[in-house]
Amino acid sequence: MGTTASQLRKDLLSEYQELTFLTKQEIILAHKRFSELLSKEDRNIPTPRVPMEKVLSLPELKSNPFRKRICHVFSTSDMKDGSLTFEDFLDLLSAFSDSATLEIKSHYAFRIFDFDDDGTLDGGDLEKLVNCLTGETDDTRLTTEEMRQLISNILEESDIDKDGTVNLSEFQHVISRSPDFVSSFKIVL
Amino acid sequence: MLLVNPHSGKGQALSLFTGHVQHMLNEAGVPHTLVITERQNHARELVREADLSQWGALVIMSGDGLLFEVVNGLMEREDWEEAIQTPLGILPGGSGNALAASIHHYSGAQPVSSEELLVSCGFLLCKGLVSRMDLASVHLGSSPSNPTRLFSFLSLAWGFVADVDVESEKYRHVGAARFTMGTLVRLASLRVYKGRLAYLPVDEAKNWEPMSANATLTGPPDSLLVPLDQPVPSDWVVVPEEDFVLMLAMYQSHLAKDLYAAPNSTLDDGLIHLIYVRAGISRTALLRLFLAMEKGTHLANNCPHLVYTRVRALRLEPYSPKGVITVDGEVVEYGPVQAQVHGGIATLVAPPAGYRPQSPRRLP
């Protein structure tokens, strides 16, 4: 299917290896999977973007409850549409890879959970976070009272300066104690 | 003898003692000696060697971890049968105050804040009331010919709950809510834990008899258990499913101040309350379960994935290569594990059944 044009140049491959937590194999595989998502015309333009819906069709992302936020966080698009270039895609895979540090993962987790992108996790962000977990339909969601109870528990435990929101360092403090966090924050192709 | 772990409860244990408890004990005329533990297992060794005739009670002011050391230290003694009858007192001062919360609950009082819990437990201590308590004998089996045996007073957990216990222990928050941001993150990639679970159900018709002491190793014989490398006895029930989200075996009512996991349990009911959740439960239902556990209403929830049954002994053989098993909130060696209850062999400073406190907050 004329894939020679979409092979990764050796010097770029080395550069990507240096800049990310990914191995050579992982980068090559990522390139192959990314190219498959591109339409025929897009394959030959210099820095193509894959629209968000296409990214979301990847099996590794499809069942992730935060898939949309993940795309938004890693997208460098001026139009804020969640579309990804290959380098955005690599950044995403790098942060979610086996070798990424706790610091990196918790930093990105925070940004992903910060639905209104205002730099802190407030009640509204937490509510959206829980709703992502519980599902789209009314009957799977928590009731208002349950939500209130849950959010107040989380804030009680994580909001150290008691300002009603969880900032990055409070979040990282809480997450760093979770032995399972690193292994659950993973996407591997 | 009063044992305090200075690192417990965000380092607050000692100041909680001097701030609240010390003057209570002095006012009530209760002589006491404070021992500050220096390291892990210090308490265990101390208690193993101590001359117990000197002490009216051993009081732990810390989380459940220190009590775990004391109980096991006592059971390792040659004279364990008398030693374990030394009244044990617990004052909340650490992160895991499940037993203190359970005792407070059994006295019929309303759920309270951590400071009030401390005062109320201190009050019980001064009154010198005692009660019998169940212990469970837990066998861990990396080498079935020589299993490790521990004594447990609270719980055995595997799966989702075990993870939460382990994390929260590190938060060192007195009375903190046990499910949190970490729970939500792990809910996102909810795991299934594979294993084989079997148990000996309570036989209503039989009257429970206390164990007689003629063991070759110290401690009561575990007459209900067969070695871990042999199949379970024929009167045991083997759970058909092999995919679980969590398994929790409790012999007291509370897993934490706000995790009221076994509402029907009492101090010496001679029972293990077994709760397990089968795989297939939705995240919402699991969240609801934890929310309901705060108030103890989770058993009434009619969640089809939740099973509750009362047993005298159980065995778990995990199949997943990696995982966490906790006994009384402490991580233990991962592998096959079995346990049986020994009813009422320990003595606890706690109101006996039927006692109702008059006014725990006002001292004469």
Q: What is the mean pLDDT of residues B10-19?
A: 62
Q: Cα separation of B318 and B307, whole Å?
A: 18
Percent of chain B predicted with pLDDT > 90:
10
The answer to whether A188 faces chain B, any CB pair under 8 Å, is no
Question: Hey, where are the domains in chain B?
Answer: 2-134+348-352, 136-343
CATH class of B2-134+348-352: alpha beta
CB contact (8 A) between residue A150 and residue B291: yes
CB contact (8 A) between residue A175 and residue B284: no
Instruction: Tell me the count of A-B CB pairs closer than 8 A.
Output: 86
Q: Cα separation of B63 and B94, whole Å?
A: 4
Residue from B185, B293, B326 whose CB has the most chain A CBs within 10 Å, to mutate:
B185
* pLDDT band (50, 70, 90) for residue B316: very high
Residue B133, pLDDT above cutoff 80: yes
| Structure letter (DSSP) for residue B64 | H
- Alpha-carbon distance values, B329 to A102, B249, B322 (Å): 25, 12, 18
Question: Where is mean pLDDT largest: A168-172, A178-182, A185-189, B54-58?
Answer: A168-172
CB contact (8 A) between residue B171 and residue A181: no
Tokens matching residue A157? 């435990």
pLDDT of residue B331: 76
Yes or no: say if A185 and B185 are a contact pair by the CB < 8 Å rule: yes
pLDDT of residue B82: 82
The pair phi, psi for residue B212, each rounded to 5°, is -95, 150
Residue B212, pLDDT above cutoff 60: no
Residue B205, pLDDT above cutoff 50: no
Question: Where is mean pLDDT largest: A147-161, B28-42, B160-174?
Answer: A147-161
Tokens matching residue B352? 């006996």
When CB atoms are compared, the residue of B181, B186, B283 closest to A184 is B186
pLDDT of residue B12: 59
pLDDT of residue B198: 94
Q: Which residues of B fall within a CB distance of 8 Å from A135? A: 282-284
* Chain position carrying tokens 């069942």: A63
Name which residue leads in pLDDT, A13 or B99. A13
Name which residue leads in pLDDT, A14 or B114. A14
CB interface of B with A, residues 190-249, below 8 Å: none
User: Residue B193: beta bridge partners?
Assistant: B244
The answer to whether B288 faces chain A, any CB pair under 8 Å, is yes
Percent of chain A predicted with pLDDT > 70:
92
Which of helix, strand or coil describes residue B341?
strand
Instruction: Write A128-131 long-range contacts (CB < 8 A, 24+).
Output: A129/B184, A130/B184, A130/B287
Tens digits of residue pLDDT in B215-257: 345 677 788 888 777 888 888 999 998 999 889 898 887 766 6
The answer to whether A155 faces chain B, any CB pair under 8 Å, is no
Burial of B74 (0-12, 13-18, 19+ CB in 10 A): buried
Tokens matching residue B11? 């380092």
Q: What is the chain B residue with the closest CA to A178?
A: B167
CB contact (8 A) between residue B284 and residue A141: yes
Tokens matching residue A30? 């990522």
Q: Cα separation of B355 and B352, whole Å?
A: 6
User: Residue B316: beta bridge partners?
Assistant: B197, B337
Q: How many CA atoms lie within 13 A of B126 on its CB side?
A: 22
The pair phi, psi for residue B193, each rounded to 5°, is -105, 125
Residue B264, pLDDT above cutoff 60: yes
Tens digits of residue pLDDT in B22-45: 777 777 666 677 777 777 778 888
pLDDT of residue B168: 45
Tens digits of residue pLDDT in A44-80: 888 899 999 999 999 888 878 889 999 999 999 999 8
Q: Write b or e for each residue in B32-61: b if 16 or more Cβ atoms lie within 10 A of its Cβ, otherwise e.
A: eebeebeeeebbbebbbebebeebebbbbb
ipTM over 0.90: no
Burial of B20 (0-12, 13-18, 19+ CB in 10 A): middle
Lowest mean pLDDT segment, chosen from B35-39, B112-116, B117-121, B187-191: B112-116
The answer to whether A21 faces chain B, any CB pair under 8 Å, is no
Residue B319, pLDDT above cutoff 70: yes
Reference B269, options B349, B181, B202, B322; nearest CA is: B202
When CB atoms are compared, the residue of A66, A142, A178 closest to B182 is A178
The answer to whether A180 faces chain B, any CB pair under 8 Å, is yes
Q: Cα separation of A96 and A184, whole Å?
A: 9
Residue from B165, B181, B297 whose CB has the most chain A CBs within 10 Å, to mutate:
B181
* pLDDT band (50, 70, 90) for residue A20: very high
The pair phi, psi for residue B345, each rounded to 5°, is -85, -15
List all residues 6 or more positions away from B112 whose beta carbon is below 8 Å from its beta carbon: B104, B120
Residue B196, pLDDT above cutoff 90: yes
pLDDT of residue B94: 52
CB contact (8 A) between residue A133 and residue B283: yes
B163 as an active site residue: the answer is: no
Q: Cα separation of B68 and B64, whole Å?
A: 6
| CATH node for B136-343 | 2.60.200.40
CB interface of B with A, residues 312-351, below 8 Å: 324
The answer to whether A168 faces chain B, any CB pair under 8 Å, is no
Yes or no: say if B244 and B197 are a contact pair by the CB < 8 Å rule: yes
pLDDT of residue B61: 72
Residue A27, pLDDT above cutoff 60: yes
CB contact (8 A) between residue A154 and residue B173: no
Q: Cα separation of B285 and B155, whole Å?
A: 23
Q: What is the mean pLDDT of residues B189-203?
A: 86
Tokens matching residue A1? 């299917």
Name which residue leads in pLDDT, A7 or A68. A68
Yes or no: say if B356 and B225 are a contact pair by the CB < 8 Å rule: no
Which of helix, strand or coil describes residue B197?
strand
Q: Cα separation of A174 and A58, whole Å?
A: 31
Which of helix, strand or coil describes residue B345?
strand
Tokens matching residue B280? 């297939």
The answer to whether B363 faces chain A, any CB pair under 8 Å, is no
* pLDDT band (50, 70, 90) for residue A112: very high
Residue B268, pLDDT above cutoff 50: yes
Q: Which CATH architecture has domain A101-183?
A: Orthogonal Bundle (1.10)
Which of helix, strand or coil describes residue B269?
coil
pLDDT of residue B274: 92
The answer to whether B291 faces chain A, any CB pair under 8 Å, is yes
Yes or no: say if B338 and B225 are a contact pair by the CB < 8 Å rule: yes
Q: Which CATH architecture has domain A10-94?
A: Orthogonal Bundle (1.10)
Name which residue leads in pLDDT, B163 or B210. B163
The pair phi, psi for residue B332, each rounded to 5°, is -120, 175
Question: Hey, where are the domains in chain A?
Answer: 10-94, 101-183
The answer to whether B300 faces chain A, any CB pair under 8 Å, is no
Residue B282, pLDDT above cutoff 70: yes
CB contact (8 A) between residue B288 and residue A154: no
Which of helix, strand or coil describes residue B275?
strand
Which of helix, strand or coil describes residue B44?
helix
* Chain position carrying tokens 């579309």: A83
List all residues 6 or more positions away from B321 whose beta carbon is below 8 Å from its beta carbon: none
Catalytic residue among B64, B134, B268, B328: B64
Lowest mean pLDDT segment, chosen from B45-49, B54-58, B167-171: B167-171
Average pLDDT, chain B: 73
Residue A142, pLDDT above cutoff 80: yes
Residue A131, pLDDT above cutoff 50: yes
Lowest mean pLDDT segment, chosen from A24-33, A43-52, B86-95, B111-120: B111-120
Q: What is the mean pLDDT of residues A147-176?
A: 83
User: What is the distance in angstroms between the Cα of B193 and the nearest Cα belonging to chain A?
Assistant: 14
Q: Cα separation of A179 and B238, whole Å?
A: 31
Reference B128, options B24, B230, B217, B10; nearest CA is: B24
